[in-house]
Amino acid sequence: MLKIGSHVSFSDKGLLTATGEAVSYGSSTFMIYTGAPQNTRRKPIDSLYIPEGRQAMAEAGIGEIVVHAPYIINLGSYKEDTYRLAVDFLQEEIRRTHAIGVKNIVLHPGAYTEKDPEYGIARIAEGLNEVLDGTKECDVNIALETMAGKGTEIGRTFEELASIIEKVSANDRLTICMDTCHIHDAGYDVVNDFDGVLRKFDDLIGLNRLAVIHVNDSKNPQGAAKDRHSPIGSGWIGFEAIANVVRNDALKDKPFVLETPWIGKTEATSRPMYEAEIALLRGDAEERFGGEFLTDVERLHHFFTKEDIQPRSYVLNTWELLKSDAKAKKADPREPIERLYDLVIEKRVLSGDYSEEAVNKRLTAWFAGEKWLAKL
């Protein structure tokens, strides 16, 4: 069974809460932060409902999950206080990850700020050596994440990650988290040559180190170095390319984790599309939502075909329009799925009395295209 899930919250009853949310999306894996990713405040380990969470995971058939280290960790910093915080706090996060029973903690390698890439690579390796040396008792790997290339972040190329690994003594505890949006934005051809991307990764790093895949579409064209995630199918990568990633034989049995943005007209109505994205990528949308769901998606296809709107071309044309509108300082920031939602509501395409979330789930399925839906 495809191991696919999403980032879920880790609040209230800790692992138990996270598992419940993951199950509600139909997940077979998931990713958590052990606290807020923007700060160092953490609850005691014994208050994280770990036994209860592990039991709920077992009952749901969820085995492997992933922890993500907080964003405030920057092992590439030349500032001693920032670097020291990164080393010490990452060690604590590894201990918490070990206590939860998780094998991989995903880490943004770091940024070199006012220095240069060579300094950043060496500094990150220095920090990793110290962190790993101080957590020998923990059966936890650090999964360095592939980055998009914005600013001075390290990890935008496989070569940079390979250089870090080479400089770390205990590098048997270093793995990789590959993010589809990030490598696309960094310039790798996820859409037309993902097998070639994996071959290059294997040559430079080794597929044996690939532990986690973050599954995200992108709001920007290949090589943009922006790191702006989009719901699956509504970005420059597209549903078909993402589906090819999660079904690639070389990635069999790896955990796939969605970090796609929530969708909604307002903050109050904004909801994740995880449940629909997971079901569509796994291929069990009809089982998950029922035949009426797919019938509604067929209605959308019929309507949009009459309007001469095709999923892939519409998405790419809308992103190009948004880019040109931004340059011209026009004030219609609606993204592809928002524009389509407004059109569906205006034309009363769907007969059911659906919530905004329900309509958006059906639009998410429409992005998959008729060819893919015919397989479901």
Check whether 153 is labelled as a binding-site residue: no
Q: Give the separation between CA 95 and CA 140, rounded to whole angstroms.
A: 8
Tokens 């907080």 correspond to 70
Distance CA 119, CA 141 (A): 24
Establish whether 332 is an annotated binding residue: no
Question: Does 7 count as an annotated binding residue?
Answer: no
Half-sphere exposure of 11 (CA within 13 A, CB side): 6
**DSSP 3-state assignment of 121?**
helix
> Interhelix angle for 50-60 vs 14-24, to 10°?
20
- Residue listed under structure tokens 């409902």: 49
* Backbone angle region of 14, left / alpha / beta, with phi > 0 → left and psi within -120 to 50 → alpha: left
Q: Decide the pairing of beta strands 229-230 and 217-218.
A: antiparallel
Asked if residue 98 belongs to a known ligand binding site, the reply is: no
> Is 302 a known ligand-binding residue?
no
Closest CA to 232 of 329, 364, 338, 132: 364
Full DSSP string of 1-32: ---EEEE----SSHHHHHHHHHHHTT-SEEEE
Instruction: Kindly report the backbone phi and psi dihedral angles of residue 65, in degrees, each rounded to the nearest multiple of 5, phi listed first.
Output: -130, 175
Nearest 10 degrees: CA dihedral of 3, 229, 182, 20?
-30
| Residue stretches of the annotated binding site | 68, 108, 145, 179, 182, 214, 227, 229, 259
Binding-site positions for Zn(2+) read 68, 108, 145, 179, 182, 214, 227, 229, 259
